Structure 1
Amino acid sequence: MALLYKADPVRGEQWKALFAEHAPDIEWRAWPDIGDPTDIEYLAAWQAPDDFEALLPNLKVLFALSAGVDQLDFARLPVSLPLVRLLDPGITRGMCEYACFAVLSLHRDMLRYRQQQMARCWQAHLLQPANKRRIGIMGLGTQAQQILAALRPLGFALSGWARSVHQIPDVDCYAGNEQLPAFLSQCDILLCVLPLTEQTQGILDDKLFRQLPHGAALINMGRGGHLVESDLLAALDTGQLSGAVIDVLQQEPAAADHPFWHHPKILLTPHIAAMTQPESAFRVLLENIRRHQRGEQMVGEIDRTLGY
C-alpha cells in the first residue's frame, strides 16, 4: 500500500520523514515518481493529476492538502471517490493570527498611518474603542468560529453570517439570503472566510458593498473568486469602503501592473494567511487513513452537493 504526494516538494520531504518515523507500513511516494501505480491507494495533493482515474486504478481516497477544495474540479472526480479536506490545526492557528492582525490593522487605522509615514507626516487621529467597532464574519464554519474566539477577548462587537443557522456564544448570528442585508448593515469591518462555491462566487461585489455602513472596511482571506476586484476599487474610490486587507486574488501571483500593488487603501499579502504545517497536519492525515482502514467515517469528508 502506498500514498502518493503531489504538492510542494520542500514540505514533501518533511511529510516523508514523518511517515517513515510514524507510519512505516505506508509507502511514501512523491509525484512524479509514482512507481507501480497499482500500489497507490491514497493521494494527498493540492490538485489531482490529469487522467488520474486511469493513472491510479486502485485509488481509494483523495486527500486535499488544504482547508478548501475549490481548486479541484469535481466533474473530474468519480462520485464514488471520497474527497477529504485537511483540518490542520496549524492552518486554523494561522488563520486566527492573520484575522487578528488584519482586524487590528484596520481598527487602528494602520493604512492611513503607513501613508503618513511615507509622507513624513506626524499626526494622530481619534481612536475608536474596540467595543464600538462591529466585526462581521461571512462563513461560520470551523475556521470562522476559531477566529471569532480569538477576536472575542479584544472586546469587539461580533456577528456572523452563513447559509445555515448557527448559535455561537457572544456572537449575533444571521442566516440565509433574507438576513444578509441586516447582517451587512451593521458591519464596520467585514471579514470573508466563506468556502468558494457557485453561490459565493463574486459575492463581494458592488451590491454587497453598498449594503455596508459608509466607510466600512473589508478583509478577504477566503478565495480570490469571492471578490469582484473592480468593484472593490470603485468602492474605495467613492469612500463607501475606507480600506481593505486582501490575501487572495482572482489570478495569483498578482501581475506586475495589478492595481492593488500600490493602492494606498489596500494592504495586499501573497496568500499567506495560513499554510499547511506538516508537523500538525501529518497526525490529522494519518488518523484519517487509519479511520479509512478501519471502515470508519473520516474527518473533513466533503459533501459534494454543498461544495465543502
Structure 2
Amino acid sequence: MTANVYFAAGADLWPDYRTALQSSCARLGLDVVLADTAPDPAAVDYIVHAPNAPIADFTPFTRCKAVLSLWAGVERIAPNPTLTQPLCRMVDSGLTEGMVEWVTGHALRHHLGMDAHILGQDGVWRGAVKPPLARDRRVTVLGLGELGTACARALAALNFPVTGWSRTEKRIDGIACLCGEDGLQEALARADILVTLLPRTAATENLMNADRFARMPMGSFLINPGRGPLIDDEALLAALDAGRIAHATLDVFRVEPLPPAHPFWAHPKVTVTPHVAADTRTDTAAGVIAENIRRGEAGEPFLFQVDRALGY
C-alpha cells in the first residue's frame, strides 16, 4: 500500500525535506509518494504542515489520517475549525538540543556576569568581583513539556537548584516540581533566573505581568525562548527600569521580526535574539514525520498528538 504525503510547508523547505523524508521513509520500509504541489485532496493520506502552508480549509482532505506539523508550537493551526484530522506537533531531538544549548548558554552568561568582561573592558582590573557558584543561584523553568524538561535537567546537571512549574502536577528527578497558581507564586519567588518555555494559550497570554514580575527576587534575570505573548512588554520594561529584572534575554516576540522602533532594541538591559533559540533540524524532523506515517499505516497511536482542548 502506498501512502500519499502532501508537503504543504513551503517551497523553501521542500528541496531539503524531499530528500530527508524519502530517506527516512525508506529506512522504515514505507512506500510513499511525496508531493509539494496541491494534489487531489481526496487522495492525500498525510499533510506535512507549517504555518505558511497554503491550506486554510482541511475539509476536502477526507482521507487524511493526520496533519504533521514541522513546528513545536501549533497555536496558529490548532484553532482551525475545519481541522478534524489528528494534529501532531513536532518534537525533534535536534530542536531540543538547540534549545538546551541556547538556554544554558544564556543562563551561564547571566550567572557568571560575562557581559561585564565582554562589554566592559576599560583597563580596570576588578578581580575581587566573583560570581556565586551555580548551587547558590536558583533557576525556575516555567513549562515542563519536552523542551522545558530538557532545559531543567541540563541546568540541574550544572548544579543549579532548579524549580519547574507546570499547569498540572509533574514529577521529574532532580527538579522541584510545582503546579497551580500557588505553585506559580512560589516558583517565581525562587527565580534568580527565570526561563519561560510555556505554549501560547489563552491561559498563558501575558502570564508574566506586573504582579508576577513583582514576585521575583530583586535583580533577577529573564530568559524567554518560548512565546512572545507570554510577556507583558510594558510590564517587563517597567520591571527592568525599576531594577526588579536585571536583564532580559528575549528570543520571541508578539510581532516578528521585532519592529525597529520597539523599545526592546535600544534598552540597555535587554538582549534581542532573532528567534534562533531552537529550530527544527531537517534530518531529525524527517525521522519524526516518517515514524508517525509508519504509525498511521500500522494503526498505532501517533506521537505528540495535540490535545485540542488544551491547545498543545
Normalised to the residue count of structure 1, the TM-score between the two structures is 0.92
Q: Aligned partners of 2:253, 2:86: CA distance in 1, in Å?
A: 29
How do residues 227-238 of structure 1 correspond to structure 2 at under 5 angstroms? 227-238=231-242
Q: Which amino acid aligns with 2:35?
A: R
Tell me if 1:74 matches 2:72: no
**1:87 alignment partner in structure 2:** 91
How do residues 170-189 of structure 1 correspond to structure 2 at under 5 angstroms? 170-189=174-193
Tell me if 1:12 matches 2:14: yes
Shift of 1:22: 4.2
* Aligned length, in residue pairs: 303
SS, match of residue 284 in structure 2 = helix
The CA RMSD measured in Å over matched residues stands at: 1.8
Q: Aligned partners of 1:173, 1:45: CA distance in 2, in Å?
A: 33
Shift of 1:9: 3.4
**1:285 alignment partner in structure 2:** 289
SS, match of residue 304 in structure 2 = coil
Q: Aligned partners of 1:19, 1:154: CA distance in 2, in Å?
A: 36
How do residues 227-306 of structure 1 correspond to structure 2 at under 5 angstroms? 227-306=231-310
**1:21 alignment partner in structure 2:** 23
**1:195 alignment partner in structure 2:** 199
Q: Aligned partners of 2:227, 2:82: CA distance in 1, in Å?
A: 21
Is 1:111–1:266's contact at 8 Å kept on the other side of the alignment?
A: no
Shift of 1:212: 0.3
Q: Aligned partners of 1:249, 1:155: CA distance in 2, in Å?
A: 30
Deviation per CA, 1:52-83, whole angstroms, max 9, x where unpaired?
A: 325534332111111121122514343x3101
**1:151 alignment partner in structure 2:** 155
Q: Which amino acid aligns with 2:33?
A: E
Tell me if 1:59 matches 2:89: no
Tell me if 1:162 matches 2:174: no
Is 2:139–2:162's contact at 8 Å kept on the other side of the alignment?
A: yes
Q: Which amino acid aligns with 2:205?
A: Q
How do residues 37-52 of structure 1 correspond to structure 2 at under 5 angstroms? 37-47=41-51, 48-52=53-57
Q: Aligned partners of 1:84, 1:307: CA distance in 2, in Å?
A: 11
Q: Which has the higher mean CA deviation after the structures are superposed, 147-156 or 85-94?
A: 147-156
Q: Aligned partners of 1:19, 1:41: CA distance in 2, in Å?
A: 15
Q: Which has the higher mean CA deviation after the structures are superposed, 205-214 or 104-113?
A: 104-113
Deviation per CA, 1:112-168, whole angstroms, max 9, x where unpaired?
A: 445424xx4645333121111000000111211111221123211111111111122
Is 1:116–1:122's contact at 8 Å kept on the other side of the alignment?
A: no
* Stretches of structure 2 lacking an aligned partner (at least 5 in a row): none
Q: Which has the higher mean CA deviation after the structures are superposed, 50-59 or 266-275?
A: 50-59
Normalised to the residue count of structure 2, the TM-score between the two structures is 0.91
Shift of 1:276: 0.6
Is 1:236–1:265's contact at 8 Å kept on the other side of the alignment?
A: yes
Is 1:115–1:264's contact at 8 Å kept on the other side of the alignment?
A: no
SS, match of residue 105 in structure 1 = helix
**2:4 alignment partner in structure 1:** 2
Is 1:111–1:267's contact at 8 Å kept on the other side of the alignment?
A: no
Q: Percent identity?
A: 32
Q: Aligned partners of 1:236, 1:52: CA distance in 2, in Å?
A: 43
1:129 and 1:8, CA in 2 relative to 1: closer, same or farther beyond 3 A? farther
Q: Which amino acid aligns with 2:65?
A: K
* Stretches of structure 1 lacking an aligned partner (at least 5 in a row): none
SS, match of residue 74 in structure 1 = coil
Shift of 1:252: 0.2
